[in-house]
Amino acid sequence: MSDTLLTMRNISKRFGATQALKDVHFDVKAGKILALVGENGAGKSTLMKVLSGAHSPDSGAMQLCGKPYSPAGPHEARLAGISMIYQELNLAPDLSVEDNIMLGREDSVAGFLSRSEQYPRVRDALAKLGHPGLKPHTLVRELSIAAQQLVEIARALVFDSKVVVFDEPTSSLTQHDVRHLFKVINQLKEQGLGIIYISHFLEEVREIGDEYAVLRDGESVGSGSLEGTSEEDIVRLMVGRDVNELFPQVPHTPGETVVQISNLSGEKIPRKVELNIRRGEILGISGLVGAGRTELIRCMYGLDPIRTGQVKVNNIDVRPTPANMIERGIGIVSEDRKQEGLAQNCSISDNITFSNLAPYSSFGLLNLNKRYQAVLKWMQKLQVKAHSPEQMLVELSGGNQQKVALARVMHQEADIFLFDEPTRGIDVGTKSEIYRQMGELAAQDKAIVFVSSYLTELLAVCDRIAVMSRGQLLEVRPRADWTEESLMSVAISGEAL
Ligand SMILES: Nc1ncnc2c1ncn2[C@@H]1O[C@H](COP(=O)(O)OP(=O)(O)OP(=O)(O)O)[C@@H](O)[C@H]1O
């Protein structure tokens, strides 16, 4: 008997001029974790949207548990046994854990199961996840991201899912929560479910996955067992060539202090931060999720109110407001590109150039051709996958939108860059290009603040690294004085080793 749960054959999907999927073949086995990898825009999300009924394919066929499967929409897919756990969780924050878990489970006479029938099922699902603190009556908005993710997984269990898709599930989790999540995923696997795991972190893929499937430009280019397959082999399949330097080094020399932060406190966090940022330097900021890294750069930029403190730019006191900071040459790429920074219904050109139209304007007229050529260069530099600079942002894959956010701030010709998780959701090939761009900015005497949860990249590209813990900035040391262990230990214990 075959242990194949799901087969997708010859799946094709076109959006206007973009052939997002072309004759894709994809198999998921019971009790296996299949890593789905590929560059930004390779077609991973589109393939998963076909699987989950959000898109209907132009051609191709699917089978689930040996039977033809063609869901009319996401709800039908869920009832058939396909569950999706996205990065941006899909829960109702004002409903309880229990109500969220049961939402859409309309298989009782009255439309919903009665509460007394619901309870044991919910408790059973939560017990399987090994998280006793997750109470059925708690409101979802009161839970941490990791606990909310477990609610989504419990929903998958209550729906008797056959295949569960995890789309970049660890990007907002602490190390501790990642470990717990991996345990839970392995439990699901042991129960015979088929798991699809999407991630740009190949270390993670190798740790959790049994098998891999690679998409490139919408086509299946390789699949097999992860045992005996190296990271280099996978990168080669993804990119279509060898990527020699994952962390390119551009020589640069840190110079004088350009920003001085003293006694900076936000409404809750950060607390009493003292920090100097230098020209020609990449300054990393490490710490656990929730330690106050994002809040620090938001307060400094004037996006969040401050309670106390002073920010000096080039030795001049500046009241932190976005307008003041832009005027002083400070650019930011925020962690939440959907809420801030990018206009989804505008073109790539507009998004990249809105904050600096001067190079293309004369006598009040915009030279569109000049702008088109300039944007094309930025797109090539950061490998933005789109068919034209005039394409709407909303049509780009998540990672390609992130590249546009980075191109926008670099195009703004800022002097000081605040990057909050700039490589999140970005494929390995482009990550290395972003590190190089940062190095080049530092070589041009710009100052770069680089907030990241990915210790490997901080240790590879920063000159100094600061660690935050519980709202405080604890230690700033040259990169050579840190290791992954010491960074982690300070972040967790709040004390230097
Ligand atoms: N609704 C849409 N309209 C037009 N084009 C689209 C749409 N959705 C996806 N695309 C295009 O299809 C291609 C595949 O995108 P998809 O989101 O599947 O990539 P991905 O592999 O998930 O990328 P990422 O790693 O960045 O999330 C891209 O070129 C994207 O621009």
> What pLDDT digit, counting tens, does each position of 283-321 carry?
999 998 888 999 999 999 999 999 999 999 999 999 999
- The 10 Å CB-count burial string (b at 16+, else e) for 310-334 is ebebeeeebebeeeebbebbbbbbb
When mean pLDDT is compared over 23-37, 75-89, 113-127, the highest value belongs to 23-37
**Which pLDDT belongs to residue 98?**
87
**Ligand 1 atom closest to residue 387's alpha carbon, by position in its atom list:** 29
Indicate if the pLDDT at residue 262 is higher than 60. Answer: yes
Query: Are residue 206 and residue 262 in the same domain, yes or no?
Result: no
Residue 17 has a CB neighbour count (10 Å cut-off) of 10
Report, as an integer, the average pLDDT of 332-357.
Answer: 84
**Which pLDDT belongs to residue 390?**
95
Report, as an integer, the average pLDDT of 222-229.
Answer: 94
Residue nearest to atom 29 of ligand 1 (CA): 41
Report, as an integer, the average pLDDT of 171-181.
Answer: 82
SS3 for 438?
helix
Ligand 1: residues whose CB is within 6 Å?
Answer: 15, 18, 20, 38, 40-46, 385, 395-400
Indicate if the pLDDT at residue 102 is higher than 90. Answer: no
Query: Are residue 116 and residue 214 in the same domain, yes or no?
Result: yes
Looking at per-residue pLDDT, the higher value among 433 and 22 belongs to 22
SS3 for 235?
helix
**Which pLDDT belongs to residue 113?**
60
Give bridge partners of residue 284 from the DSSP assignment.
Answer: 450, 465
Query: Are residue 333 and residue 291 in the same domain, yes or no?
Result: yes
**Ligand 1 atom closest to residue 49's alpha carbon, by position in its atom list:** 18
Q: Is residue 453 part of a domain?
A: yes
Query: Are residue 328 and residue 215 in the same domain, yes or no?
Result: no
Indicate if the pLDDT at residue 190 is higher than 90. Answer: yes
Query: Are residue 153 and residue 207 in the same domain, yes or no?
Result: yes
Q: Is residue 400 part of a domain?
A: yes
Report, as an integer, the average pLDDT of 320-332.
Answer: 93
Residue nearest to atom 28 of ligand 1 (CA): 41
Looking at per-residue pLDDT, the higher value among 487 and 88 belongs to 487
Cα(41) to ligand 1 centroid in Å equals: 5
Q: Is residue 475 part of a domain?
A: yes
Cα(395) to ligand 1 centroid in Å equals: 7
Query: Are residue 229 and residue 369 in the same domain, yes or no?
Result: no
Q: Is residue 369 part of a domain?
A: yes
Containing structural domain, residue 477: 256-494
Q: Is residue 250 part of a domain?
A: no
Averaged confidence pLDDT in the chain: 90
Cα(386) to ligand 1 centroid in Å equals: 9
**Which pLDDT belongs to residue 107?**
55
Q: Give how many domains the chain has, as a whole number.
A: 2
Give the model confidence (pLDDT) of 227-256 as tens digits: 999 888 998 899 887 777 789 999 999 999
Looking at per-residue pLDDT, the higher value among 433 and 172 belongs to 433
299: domain CATH number is 3.40.50.300
Of 241, 273, 290, which residue sits at a domain end? 241
pLDDT confidence band for 109 (50 / 70 / 90): very low
- The 10 Å CB-count burial string (b at 16+, else e) for 196-225 is bbbbbbbebbbebbbbbbbbbbbbbebbee
Cα(306) to ligand 1 centroid in Å equals: 39
Indicate if the pLDDT at residue 434 is higher than 70. Answer: yes
CB neighbours of 334 closer than 8 A, spacing ≥ 6?
298, 303, 340, 341, 405, 420
Query: Are residue 207 and residue 124 in the same domain, yes or no?
Result: yes
**Ligand 1 atom closest to residue 401's alpha carbon, by position in its atom list:** 26
Query: What is the C-alpha to C-alpha distance for residues 381 and 407, in angstroms, rounded to an integer?
Result: 9
Give the model confidence (pLDDT) of 458-470 as tens digits: 999 999 999 999 8
Residue 110 has a CB neighbour count (10 Å cut-off) of 7
CB neighbours of 233 closer than 8 A, spacing ≥ 6?
none
Instruction: Tell me what ipTM this predicted complex has.
Output: 0.98
Report, as an integer, the average pLDDT of 466-483.
Answer: 94
Q: Which secondary-structure segment (H or E) carries 475?
A: strand 472-478
Q: Tokens in use for 471? A: 């709202």
Query: Are residue 193 and residue 310 in the same domain, yes or no?
Result: no
pLDDT confidence band for 338 (50 / 70 / 90): low
Q: Is residue 246 part of a domain?
A: no
- The preferred substitution site among 171, 397, 402 for testing ligand 1, maximizing ligand atoms within 8 Å of CB, is 397
Q: Which secondary-structure segment (H or E) carries 149?
A: helix 145-158
pLDDT confidence band for 149 (50 / 70 / 90): confident
**Which pLDDT belongs to residue 205?**
93
Residue 360 contacts residue 374 (beta carbons within 8 Å): yes
Report, as an integer, the average pLDDT of 151-176.
Answer: 87
When mean pLDDT is compared over 22-31, 113-122, 330-339, 382-391, the highest value belongs to 22-31
Global pTM value: 0.82
- Strand 416-420 relative to strand 59-64: parallel, antiparallel, unpaired? unpaired
Cα(156) to ligand 1 centroid in Å equals: 25
Give the model confidence (pLDDT) of 126-147 as tens digits: 887 877 668 888 898 888 878 8
Q: Is residue 336 part of a domain?
A: yes
Indicate if the pLDDT at residue 406 is higher than 60. Answer: yes
Query: Are residue 137 and residue 186 in the same domain, yes or no?
Result: yes
SS3 for 333?
strand
Query: What is the C-alpha to C-alpha distance for residues 395 and 400, in angstroms, rounded to an integer?
Result: 10
Of 187, 210, 241, which residue sits at a domain end? 241
Q: Which secondary-structure segment (H or E) carries 458?
A: helix 455-461
Query: Are residue 65 and residue 150 in the same domain, yes or no?
Result: yes
Of 214, 241, 268, which residue sits at a domain end? 241
Query: Are residue 226 and residue 276 in the same domain, yes or no?
Result: no
Q: Which of 80-84, 172-176, 373-377, 390-394 has the lowest mean pLDDT?
A: 172-176
Residue nearest to atom 24 of ligand 1 (CA): 40
Residue 282 contacts residue 442 (beta carbons within 8 Å): yes
Q: Is residue 248 part of a domain?
A: no
**Which pLDDT belongs to residue 486?**
92
Query: Are residue 226 and residue 304 in the same domain, yes or no?
Result: no
**Which pLDDT belongs to residue 126?**
85
Looking at per-residue pLDDT, the higher value among 211 and 142 belongs to 211
